[in-house]
Amino acid sequence: MSYIEKFFKHFWMICKHKYWVFYFACKCGIPVRGFLHDFSKFHPTEFFESVKYYTGTKSPIVSCKEDKGYSLAWLHHKGHNPHHYEYWVDNLDKGGIPLLIPFKYCVEMTCDWLAAGKAYQGKEFSYESELKWWNNKKKELQHSMDSRIIEFFEFVFNDLAYNKNLTKKMLDYYYHIAISPREKYVDNSEYEYGHNVPSHVGKDEDYYLYHKD
Ligand SMILES: [Zn+2]
């Protein structure tokens, strides 16, 4: 593939991804976040590396990492975009401490993942296959995502596979349950997917702190 071809195909890929994130973001009531999503992909550090490694069949960031062992585009991207959970991991020299991720970025992350599903599966896309993807993904997250945020996504992807209805109200509901003190919900029928009650105990004030828009 010529450089010019890779240039325009990568540009088009970003636009398509932004379109689908915007589509899901509108359902979740965050159209502005959806519109601004991933603009840093047009920054020269991110854009030109990804043009160089563009193949159309897999992520240019993955290709670059395979080639060089690291990707400056990725370091730039995760450092500038709080909708990536990697943005919220500190103290790497102590093994990594994942912080609690504010609600609005959890919503944007949901939209980003669903949009990626649309890109990879096209017409085959379904919320059931997204749940399958999540069930694999969560195995990698033990040290890089707060257990309460993992649980939030656990609720969300299960609910989506079951009810197939993405709304801000639903996300808000599960964020509240995931973040709030556990004992409140253990014996509660509302706690639908709580088969494995995690060991963490959230703080009541966390929900209000992290839910502000
Ligand atoms: Zn991103």
The pLDDT tens digits of the residues spanning 85-139 come to: 999 999 889 888 899 999 999 999 999 999 999 988 889 999 999 999 999 999 9
Distance between Cα 1 and ligand 1 center (Å): 25
User: How far is ligand 1, taken at its centre, from the CA of residue 83, in Å?
Assistant: 6
Cα of 150 vs centre of ligand 1, distance in Å, is: 18
Q: How far, in Å, is the centroid of ligand 1 from the Cα of 38? A: 5
CA 172 to ligand 1 centroid distance, Å: 22
- Whole-number Å distance, alpha carbon 84 to ligand 1 midpoint, is 6
Residue 35 covered by a domain: no
Instruction: Count the domains in the chain.
Output: 1
In a domain, 178, yes or no: yes
Question: What integer best gives the mean pLDDT of the chain?
Answer: 87
In the predicted structure, residue 190 carries a pLDDT above the cut 50: no
Residue 123 Cα to ligand 1 midpoint, Å, equals: 23
Domain assignment present for 70:
no
pLDDT of residue 180: 79
Q: Average of pLDDT values for 72-80?
A: 97
Question: Is residue 20 in some structural domain?
Answer: no
| 12 located within any domain | no
Range of the domain at 143: 84-206
Q: How far is CA 195 from the centre of its chain?
A: 23
DSSP per-residue letters across the chain: --HHHHHHHHHHHHHHHHHHHHHHHHHTT-HHHHHHTTGGGGSHHHHHHHHHT--SSS-HHHHHHHHHS--HHHHHHHHH-TTSGGGGEE-GGGT-EEPPPPHHHHHHHHHHHHHHHHHHHGGG--HHHHHHHHHHHGGG-TTTS-HHHHHHHHHHHHHHHHH----HHHHHHHHHHHHS-GGGTTT-TT-TTTTS--S----HHHHHHHH--
Q: Does some domain include residue 5?
A: no
The CA 134 to ligand 1 mean position distance, Å, reads: 17
Question: Is there a domain that residue 27 lies in?
Answer: no
For residue 201, the model assigns a pLDDT of: 47
Q: Within a domain: residue 118?
A: yes
119 CA from centroid of ligand 1 (Å): 14
Tell me the per-residue pLDDT of 25-59, one tens digit each, with 9 for 90 and over.
Answer: 999 999 999 999 999 999 999 999 999 999 988 89
97 φ/ψ angles, rounded to the nearest 5 degrees = -120, 110
Q: What pLDDT, in 10s, does the model give residues 87-97?
A: 999 988 988 88
What pLDDT is recorded for position 159?
93
How remote is the CA of residue 80 from the centroid of ligand 1, in Å? 9
For residue 206, how far is its CA from the centre of ligand 1 (angstroms)?
A: 25
